Structure 1
């Protein structure tokens, strides 16, 4: 039996219609949205809370935490608000929970003149520079964790973690699946592309997020129970589970954000099919940065990306067999047949409207 979860990052426009990033937004601006949202008492067994107390709810402020030399948390520079689902026994339940949490977030955010928008990479800022510069303790945190050294990318990129687990698999099998997902990542990420803006204008491609991020940050991660099960790599393919519920979780981290949550259902079904598949031979510990950059620029217009994506989608469909989740793959078939991603539509809208903000205001139009 599979289990599923979703982590979805939400970006916002503020009351002035400006993109609400770290340059113009404080922790308190987003915290006033978080405060009225409910706490569900049993979530702590499934969702990692952390030491800072920022992640107490299904919604929390995603950002860069600042510490004093005495190791006390003194600030969190905000990027946006993340929604986490609990662990669900099927894809539909995970999507329903995400939709309910998103609608509640949007209702509360509207009271403070913030509106959610679809963004997978900051359309104006290209890098995050901590101000003031990091102190000795903060530098030691980054040096101890190679993945933390890419905070300058993390703070300008937005995307989901699509999580699934299949209890009973050995940790060796889980690691093999993570290697498979890492290998095939550049061929499946175009299904989600939604970041065609860069430095206030159109970028020369479909996903600047994928172009800049993947290779430096992980495509997939599996959470293991014991230190001896870890594989040493940068970026990390394996991590130690922080709570028991994380053991055996596979996170796919390379997709762009989607504002139509049925796309997450399709992508989770694809990942489920790839877990079940036994035919695809490709494996990689580290994401292929060059292949991801080709994918980011050309998407399914590149013949190799298109051909292998078709092969992967077919393998997933065969592996799912009579499972009803096979029907969730339909939107992916349409994208592949038309070779048109969400980014293509955003580019077309921008050429008509001439404004990034106007394009972004059309986000999440299908969710009420």
Structure 2
């Protein structure tokens, strides 16, 4: 792209996993809809958010905080129940990365005021540390089967009941729809080299599984790395998983959602990742493009992270390209990339700290609790 562009909008969606009052990992089997809904009920509504945040038809998405899980419907299509897995926090749109991160921190702090006093504490993980499958109970009826077969993402929604991760959102109002789609393909191609910075799911079926991100290993191929929100149906691209989705609000048009990262216990890492994505959108040197994620490369990253020479080389390339691009436009967010440089240099991910805690303590729950306590 020959012309310069420097105007962006930033937002973040962050899924919070919990340990319940008994100290067990909270999920749909041991935590009720009513328990989690009572937490959401205590939190405020901001009237001005209606133009920026999608309000779901079931009444679940009314606030900056909402229940994450699976909706259940009667045979005639009435919403009747919900299987919770956690709580999602979403920010409004900000012109700066720091503005979005500051709002996320504020919302997280407010959420914690209403969860800790009833015994729910945050846990850092990006995949259920004990369960490897999710089956709806009772089985889906005909209406639900039709609903969950409407798109590739709906068909693979069962995996989301086991996973936790952020959506890192960037809007580029100065780009044409074709240019935004091109950038979505670019982030999809370079995703295997971006995601290791966030890896935080080294536990599976109650033990370390030998890699760094079971979330990446299991979800890639079924779920998108990037989603681009378009205004018109003729702009949709037919792919599985999807690369494009119709915008539900005017403010969503032109948004790029990067969806492949693991959850972070440190929101400043989200700031660094947003700066990396921003630099890659500005960059004109990296030529890779892909409509759907490469499962093999993601699984290679999931197992070895920066220890694998090809993943390390790719990570160095994307950080270098983003750094040069941000420096070229004198963007102060280039300073946020310093921690990513260090991670590649040391070949470490957040999963390494989780594994260290587990080795010291011998308890997955305690390792997740200690790591989760540093969130914000």
1:340 is aligned to 2:352: no
- The structural deviation recorded for 1:366 is 3.5
2:166 and 2:52 map into 1 onto residues whose CA distance is 18
Aligned match for 2:331, one of 320, 323, 327:
323
Looking at structure 2, the residues matched to 332 and 20 of structure 1 have their Cα atoms a distance apart, in angstroms, of 31
SS at match of 2:156: helix
Separation in structure 1 between the aligned mates of residue 316 and residue 149 of structure 2, nearest angstrom: 40
Give the RMSD, CA atoms, in angstroms.
Answer: 0.9
Alignment counterpart, residue 182 of structure 1, candidates 183, 188, 211: 188
- Residue number in structure 1 paired with 2:265: 259
Quick check: 2:216–2:302 contact (8 Å CA) kept in 1?
yes
Structure 1 residue 88: Cα displacement: 0.7
State the match for 1:101 in structure 2.
107
Alpha-carbon distance in 1 for matches of 2:146, 2:373? 44
Q: For residues 269-348 of structure 1, what are the structure 2 equivalents within 5 Å?
A: 269-321=275-327, 322-348=330-356
Tell me what 1:357 maps to: 365
Q: Secondary structure at 2:14's aligned position in 1? A: strand
In structure 2, how many angstroms separate the alpha carbons of the residues matched to 1:34 and 1:149?
28
Name the residue aligned to 2:234.
Answer: 228
Gaps of 5+ in 2: 1-6
2: CA distance between counterparts of 1:270 and 1:168? 19
Q: Which residue of 1 aligns with 2:172?
A: 166
Note the C-alpha offset of 1:168: 2.1
When the two structures are superposed, what TM-score results if normalisation uses the length of structure 1? Answer: 0.99
Matched, 1:156 2:162: yes
Alignment-derived partner of residue 29 in structure 1: 35
Q: What secondary structure sits across from 1:144 in the alignment?
A: coil
Aligned 8 A contact 1:103 1:367 in 2? no
The 3-state SS of whatever aligns with 1:362 is helix
Match of 2:50 among 40, 44, 51: 44
| CA distance in 1: counterparts of 2:374 and 2:222, whole angstroms | 33
Deviation at 1:364, TM superposition (A): 3.7
TM-score normalised per structure 2:
0.97
Q: Give the paired residue count.
A: 368
Name the CA distance, whole Å, in 2 between partners of 1:143 and 1:357.
35
Measured after TM superposition, the shift of residue 367 of structure 1 is 4.8
Give the distance between the partners of 1:170 and 1:76, measured in 2 at CA. 39
Partner Cα distance (1:302, 1:258) in 2: 22
CA contact (8 A) 1:63 1:77 kept: yes
